[in-house]
Amino acid sequence: MKTYQAPLDLLTDKVILITGASSEIGHAIALTYAAHGATVILHGRNVTKLEAIYDEIEAKGYPQPAIIPLDFEKADDQGFAGLAGSIGLQLKRLDGIVHNAATLLTPMPMELNNLDDWLRLLRVNLVAPTVITRACLPLLKAAPSASVIFTGESHGHTPTAFWGAYAASKAGLEMVMQIWTQELENLHPDLRINTLIPGPVNSRSRRKTHPGEDHSQLPQPADIMPTYLYLMGKDSVHVKGQCILL
């Protein structure tokens, strides 16, 4: 997967939602998918940042993207349903989702995680991707071969001291992915859901949580794009319910 070489038309005519598109990894996913023919839906909280990515995609001559801003910390069930409704009304289809949006804390002893920390992390990192998947399920079921990718995290896969609430929120994603896979297997076998754990990447969040690290030695967001392409494209139709660690 790491060395997967995707044809430039891999995602032609596909519509793909990318949450957290203004982050460094989300930005890379948006540009990479658009470069391979997809119409990407850019989600984030900051409209100015999303517009900059929109302009970058258009300037490169890729398919015209769409923007759907939504603050996961504040959104209610109606807001999540509205996101799915907007996709249906504007684009008429949805072939995939990359759940990349996340929030984190500076690592600390779990006894210092207060209630607000827990609620915010669970809401953004676990509840939002679960509810969005549910809201978009009719569109995904209607697609000929849809793919959903949850972006996991190594500390959520392997319990690690000082990552308490954040690790728990990310660990929940793996459970949700497995349950969705089991529930959809017989009725909707063409819809696949997987979790991808990128591992250490030179990103803003990594620099925040590991300030003493030599970040220049880490993979760049562009380095992990082959696996994101593989899991979204036709060559991974047989890959379901997997937690993939890079």
Indicate which residues carry an active-site annotation.
Answer: 166
Q: Are 117 and 163 in contact (CB under 8 A)?
A: no
For 181, half-sphere exposure in the C-beta direction (CA atoms, 13 angstrom radius) is: 20
Instruction: Look up residue 64 and give its amino acid.
Output: Q
| Tokens coding 232 | 């979204």
How far apart, in Å, are the Cα atoms of 7 and each of 11, 165, 198, 230? 9, 40, 22, 10
Owner of token pair 């023919």: 37
Q: Are 22 and 50 in contact (CB under 8 A)?
A: yes
Alpha-carbon gap, residue 37 to 32, rounded angstroms: 9
